A and B are shown apart, each in its own frame.
Chain A
Amino acid sequence: MALKRKIAYIDLTTGEIQVKPIPVEIRKQFLGGRGLDAYLLYNHTKKGVDPLSPDNVLLISAGLLAATCASATTRTHVMAKSALTGLLGSTNMGGFFAPELAWAGFHHLVIRGKAEKPSYLFIHDGEIEIRDAGNLWGRSTTETQWAIREELRDPEVKCLVIGPAGEKLVRFANVMTGIKDSGGRTGMGCIMGSKNLKAVAARGTMDIGIAHPEEALEFNKRFIDQIASSKVNQTQGTLGTPFIWGATNSWGGVRARNFQYNQCEFADDIEPERLDEIATETMGPHHMAGCFGCQVHCRARYKLPSGPYAGKYDEGPEYTTLGAFGAMPDCRNAETVLTCNYLVNQYGMDNLETGAMISWAMELYELGILTREQTDGIDLRFGNDEALVEMVSRICGRKGWLGDTLADGGIPASEKIGRNSFDYLVQVKGMNNLHSDERATPALALNVATASRGSDHLRSRPAIDLYHLPEEVLRKIYSSPVPYDGPLSSDHTVYEGKPWQVFWQENCYMAVDCLGICKYHTVFLGPTHPNFEDWAKVIRYNTGLEFTPKDIWDVAVRCNTIERMFNLREGLTRSDLKKGDMLNHRYFDEPCRRGAPGVVGRYIDKEKFIRMVDELYEHKGLDKEGVPKPETLKKQGLESEPSHRL
C-alpha cells in the first residue's frame, strides 16, 4: 500500500540511517510530497541555518500517489533552505524517479550532514547504501546517470543527479533526472553539492497495493479522457510547453531584453512551430515523449541541427528556455536556444535563472554599469549569441570575474557589481522572475510577488485568467470546494477578484504537489482539467484514505501556511524588496511598450497592487504584515509547530 511507504533519515557525516513509518495522522495533515516536506523542513532545521552547512537538511520525496493507478503521479519534490534566496528552497520535476523511489519502499528522504568524499545513495527494495562517487565527480548529468547504471549493472535504475554546476556550488544549480527533467528553481543542486552528494539512485520492485483497484482504474479512464481531450493538452502533446511562450509572446506578455520590452518581435525562428519542425526533421514525426503514467506527452526530443554540438541528442526546450535564451538576451536563433538548452541540461543549471542573470548583465553592460574589463573583453550586448553561449559555460565553471559573480545569484552579484545594478535585477525574494511580463496582468503580478519560493509561476498562477472565460465558468471553478461569492472577472487586466484566484490556485498547486501529480493535469492550464473533487476520489480508490474535497483544500492551506512560517522565521518581511512580497519598481514605473493595443501602456498600479496583497493576506488568515494570526494557526492545527512528530 502507498501508505506503507516509509521515511528514511540519512546522516552523510556519520553514515547513520534510520527508517520509520509515516503515521496516518501525519498523512491526514500533510498528505505527502511537498506538503510533508515543508513540515519536515520546519521541524528539522534551526532558525538561521547556513544553507551550505551540514546542518541544512535536504528533503527528497515522492507524492502520496506515486506509482499508483492515478495518472501522471510522476513528480519528485526536493526541498531545503535555499542558498540562492536564504528562504524556502523547493523544486519539483517530472520523469520516472518518484515512482521508482516508491517501488523501492520510500516516499521521503531526510538527508543531513556532509559526506567526507563524493558519494551517492543507492536505494533498492527497502535498503539504502551510501556509495563512493569519486569516479562520477566532474561528469555531466547524463554521463553520471549512465555511469551509475553501468556500475550497478541495471539499466532500469533511475537517478537524481547534479552536474558540474552543483559541484561548483552555483547557487542556481539543478537536481536532474533523465535528459532534461529538472528540479530547476532555488538551487537544490547546490545543496546536494555542498553535501558532496552527487546522486540518489533508486530501483524498486516492491508492489504498491491499490486499495480499490477496479474503481481506481475505471476512474482513471475518465480522468485520462478529460485530460487527453482538452485543447491545451493536445497542443502541448504536439508542440510541448513552448506553445505557451509562443502564445504569450503574440500578445505581449513575455520579458524581452531583461525587462525593457514585453514582446520579442520577429521571433519566427524560435517559435514553437519552428522548433517542432527541427524535432521532426531530426527525430521523425513521433518525437514527443511523456513522463511516467502521463498521457499529455509534452516532452520534445530532438538532435541539435547545427552549431558546436550538432548531432547531440537533447530534450525540450521548455517554455522557460525560449525566454531564457531567446527573448531575454534578444537572441532569436533556434541554434542558440537549443545550444544553451543542451549546455544547461548537461551542466545541471537552471535555464531560467541562467538566462535571466546573463540578460541582466547585458543590460548593465549596455548601460556602462559593467565594464568590458569585468566581462574579460566579451562584448556582452543584447543579441550577441556567441557571448550568451560563452557566458552559460563561464557561469557553470565560475570562470572569470563575471562568471563567478553571476554564479552566486542576483542579490550577491548586485552587491558585488555595485552602483545601481540592483534596480535592474527583476527578482522576488532573491530569485529572478519568470520570463513572462506581468505588467498587463495584475493577477499574475500578485502571483509572482507572493509565491513562497520566490518569483514563480508554478505556485499560485491563475494562468486561466488569460483565457477570457465567462464569469459563470470562473464561478464554478473558484466557488468550490469552499464557497466564494466575491467578484470574479473575465478581464485579465483588472484587479478585482484576483486575490481569490491566486489564493485558490495556491491551494490547488499545493494539493497536487502533495499528491505528486503533474500540474498539467490540473486547472493550471485548462479550466476543464481535474479538480479537488476528482482528487478526493483518486485518493480513496488508490490508498483507501477518506478525504473530502474540502479536506484536501484544508491540507493545502495548512501546508502553504507552514511554508510561510519557514520563510518568516528566515527573515521574510512584507515589503522588503529582497526578501518580501514585493515587485521590482519597473512593474510600477515603466509601461509596456509592445504587444496588443490593449496591452501597450499598461503597468501595475502600486496602490491597487498593495490592496491586492492585503486581500490575499486576509484570505490566507495573515495579518497586515503577512504573519499568520494566532487564530489561523489554531484553526489549522499549527499552533504547536515545530512539534517534532516525525
Chain B
Amino acid sequence: MADEDISTAEALRKTRTYGKIRCQNPSCMGRIEPKAGQTHVKCPECGMEFRVHWLRPDFPRIRGPVWEVNRKLAEEALKKKEKER
C-alpha cells in the first residue's frame, strides 16, 4: 500500500449502517429496520408510513410515502402549527 495512514473519509467508514432506513420526518429521523422483502413500513415514533424498495436483498430504501396516510398527518400538523402562530 502506498500510504498506510487512514484518511478521515476512511476512518468514518465504520459509521455506515446497512439494512436500516431513516424516518424522513425531520422532527423524528428514527431508524427503521424493515424485515427482508417488506414493502411497507410505519415509523413507530411518529406514525409516518413509507413504501420500501429493495436495491438488493440486504439494501432497503424508501421508495416514497404512503400518500394518503402522510397527507393526513401533514394536514393535522399544519393545522396545529397555524393555530400556534
Q: Write the residues of chain A forming the contact surface with B, with a CB cutoff of 8 angstroms.
A: 214-215, 218-219, 222, 226, 229-231, 234-235, 238-239, 243, 246-247, 249-252, 265-268, 271, 273, 440, 468, 470, 473, 476-477, 480, 491-493, 523, 527-531, 533-534, 537, 541, 591, 593-601
CB <8 Å contact, B61 and A596: no
Given A251-B25, A265-B71, A271-B64: A214 in contact with B2 (beta carbons within 8 A): yes
Given A247-B62, A541-B2: A600 in contact with B78 (beta carbons within 8 A): yes
**Known contacts A468-B22, A473-B12; 19 further A-B pairs (Cβ under 8 A):** A214-B2, A218-B1, A222-B1, A231-B16, A231-B59, A239-B55, A247-B62, A250-B64, A251-B26, A527-B15, A528-B12, A534-B7, A537-B3, A596-B26, A597-B74, A598-B77, A600-B77, A601-B78, A601-B85
Shortest beta-carbon distance from B21 to chain A in Å = 10
Q: Which of A229, A476, A601 contacts B81 (CB 8 A)?
A: A601
Shortest beta-carbon distance from A637 to chain B in Å = 28
Q: Which 7 A-B pairs have the closest CB atoms?
A: A598-B27, A601-B81, A597-B77, A251-B24, A215-B2, A596-B25, A598-B26
A476 to B6, CA, bound (A): 13
A-B contact pairs, 28 of them (CB 8 A): A218-B1, A222-B1, A226-B9, A231-B18, A235-B61, A246-B63, A250-B50, A267-B64, A468-B26, A470-B15, A527-B15, A528-B9, A537-B2, A537-B3, A591-B81, A593-B74, A594-B71, A594-B74, A596-B24, A596-B26, A596-B27, A596-B73, A597-B48, A597-B73, A597-B76, A597-B77, A598-B25, A600-B81
CB <8 Å contact, B55 and A600: no
Write out the residue numbers on chain A whose beta carbons fall within 8 Å of the beta carbon of B36. Answer: none
A247 to B70, CA, bound (A): 15
Which of B9, B27, B55, B71 has the most A CB atoms < 10 Å from its CB? B9
Which of B7, B27, B28, B78 has the most A CB atoms < 10 Å from its CB? B7
CB <8 Å contact, B62 and A250: yes
CB <8 Å contact, B25 and A530: no
Given A250-B62, A251-B24, A598-B26: A476 in contact with B12 (beta carbons within 8 A): yes
A157 to B75, CA, bound (A): 56
Write out the residue numbers on chain A whose beta carbons fall within 8 Å of the beta carbon of B64. Answer: 246, 249-250, 267-268, 271
Write out the residue numbers on chain B whose beta carbons fall within 8 Å of the beta carbon of A230. Answer: 16
A473 to B9, CA, bound (A): 10
Given A473-B15, A596-B48, A600-B81: A480 in contact with B25 (beta carbons within 8 A): no
Write out the residue numbers on chain B whose beta carbons fall within 8 Å of the beta carbon of A231. Answer: 16, 18, 59
The closest CB in chain B to the CB of A470 belongs to B15
A218 to B1, CA, bound (A): 6
Interface residues in B1-58 (C-beta closer than 8 Å to A): 1-3, 7-13, 15-16, 18, 22, 24-29, 46, 48, 50, 53, 55
The closest CB in chain B to the CB of A535 belongs to B7
Write out the residue numbers on chain B whose beta carbons fall within 8 Å of the beta carbon of A249. Answer: 64
Q: Which of A226, A234, A273, A476 contacts B63 (CB 8 A)?
A: A273
Which of B18, B29, B59 has the most A CB atoms < 10 Å from its CB? B29
Write out the residue numbers on chain B whose beta carbons fall within 8 Å of the beta carbon of A246. Answer: 63-64
Shortest beta-carbon distance from B76 to chain A in Å = 8
Write out the residue numbers on chain B whose beta carbons fall within 8 Å of the beta carbon of A229. Answer: 13
Write out the residue numbers on chain A whose beta carbons fall within 8 Å of the beta carbon of B25. Answer: 251, 596-599
Write out the residue numbers on chain A whose beta carbons fall within 8 Å of the beta carbon of B63. Answer: 246, 271, 273
The closest CB in chain B to the CB of A479 belongs to B8
CB <8 Å contact, B16 and A528: yes
CB <8 Å contact, A476 and B8: yes
A214 to B65, CA, bound (A): 49
CB <8 Å contact, A238 and B55: yes
The closest CB in chain B to the CB of A491 belongs to B26
Given A246-B64, A249-B64, A271-B64: A531 in contact with B24 (beta carbons within 8 A): no
Write out the residue numbers on chain A whose beta carbons fall within 8 Å of the beta carbon of B59. Answer: 231, 234
The closest CB in chain B to the CB of A265 belongs to B67
The closest CB in chain A to the CB of B30 belongs to A468
CB <8 Å contact, B10 and A593: no
CB <8 Å contact, A480 and B8: yes
Write out the residue numbers on chain B whose beta carbons fall within 8 Å of the beta carbon of A541. Answer: 2
CB <8 Å contact, A533 and B26: no
A215 to B13, CA, bound (A): 22
The closest CB in chain A to the CB of B55 belongs to A238
CB <8 Å contact, B26 and A493: yes
CB <8 Å contact, B55 and A234: yes
Shortest beta-carbon distance from B64 to chain A in Å = 5
A598 to B1, CA, bound (A): 47
CB <8 Å contact, A235 and B8: no
Write out the residue numbers on chain B whose beta carbons fall within 8 Å of the beta carbon of A234. Answer: 55, 59
Given A218-B1, A597-B77: A530 in contact with B7 (beta carbons within 8 A): yes
A219 to B6, CA, bound (A): 11
The closest CB in chain A to the CB of B62 belongs to A250
Shortest beta-carbon distance from A219 to chain B in Å = 5
A238 to B61, CA, bound (A): 12
A625 to B3, CA, bound (A): 45
Write out the residue numbers on chain B whose beta carbons fall within 8 Å of the beta carbon of A533. Answer: 7-8
A600 to B85, CA, bound (A): 13
Write out the residue numbers on chain A whose beta carbons fall within 8 Å of the beta carbon of B74. Answer: 252, 593-597, 599-600
Write out the residue numbers on chain B whose beta carbons fall within 8 Å of the beta carbon of A265. Answer: 67, 71
Which of B11, B50, B55, B74 has the most A CB atoms < 10 Å from its CB? B74
The closest CB in chain B to the CB of A274 belongs to B63
The closest CB in chain A to the CB of B81 belongs to A601
Shortest beta-carbon distance from B11 to chain A in Å = 7
Shortest beta-carbon distance from B69 to chain A in Å = 12
Given A231-B16, A250-B24, A596-B48: A222 in contact with B78 (beta carbons within 8 A): no
Shortest beta-carbon distance from A614 to chain B in Å = 25
Write out the residue numbers on chain B whose beta carbons fall within 8 Å of the beta carbon of A530. Answer: 7, 9
The closest CB in chain A to the CB of B61 belongs to A235
Given A246-B64, A271-B64: A528 in contact with B13 (beta carbons within 8 A): yes
Write out the residue numbers on chain A whose beta carbons fall within 8 Å of the beta carbon of B12. Answer: 473, 476-477, 527-528
